[in-house]
């Protein structure tokens, strides 16, 4: 299991905390420091079942500077822009096996836990 993580993001910290609480092993990738390659991002998008514009952070200042909202939906071009500006990639992304999810809530994280792992209890 791997999490693409931005420690400054509360949603990302919550997803990481859910993994920690569940006691699962994972690799943390601080994707702003270690951006994905175009091939890696393309593969992750396929695992999520999404297009790049579906997981783009359109309210980021760089998105506005680039006019991303008006950019033609050309998958390769969007991936190129997102790799060059990883802050545009929605976070966190949790990857396991052949699946991936943008885990904006702890429930999205929990669906990836192996069935033999303890699951956190809700209070």
Q: Given 2, 3, 5, 9, which residue is catalytic? A: 9
Give, in order, the Cα–Cα distances in Å from 112 to each of 19, 74, 92, 118: 10, 30, 14, 12
Distance CA 23, CA 4 (A): 18
Q: What is the DSSP string of 54-112?
A: GSB-TTSHHHHHHTGGGS---HHHHHHHHHHSGGGB-S-EEEETTEEEE-SSHHHHHTT
Token pair of 113 as six digits: 């836990």
Strand partners, 29: 4
Residue 26 falls in the annotated catalytic set: no
* Catalytic residue numbers, as ranges: 9
């Amino acid at each position: 299991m791997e999490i693409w993580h931005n420690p400054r993001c509360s949603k990302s910290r919550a997803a990481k905390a859910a993994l920690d609480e569940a006691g699962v092993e994972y690799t943390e990738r601080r994707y702003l420091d270690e951006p994905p390659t175009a091939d890696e991002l393309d593969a992750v998008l396929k695992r999520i079942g999404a297009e790049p514009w579906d997981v783009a952070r359109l309210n980021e200042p760089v998105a506005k500077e680039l006019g991303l909202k008006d950019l033609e939906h050309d998958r390769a071009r969007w991936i190129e822009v997102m790799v060059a500006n990883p802050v545009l990639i929605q976070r966190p992304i949790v990857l396991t096996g052949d699946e991936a999810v943008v885990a904006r809530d702890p429930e999205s994280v929990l669906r990836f836990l192996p069935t033999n792992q303890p699951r956190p209890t809700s209070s």
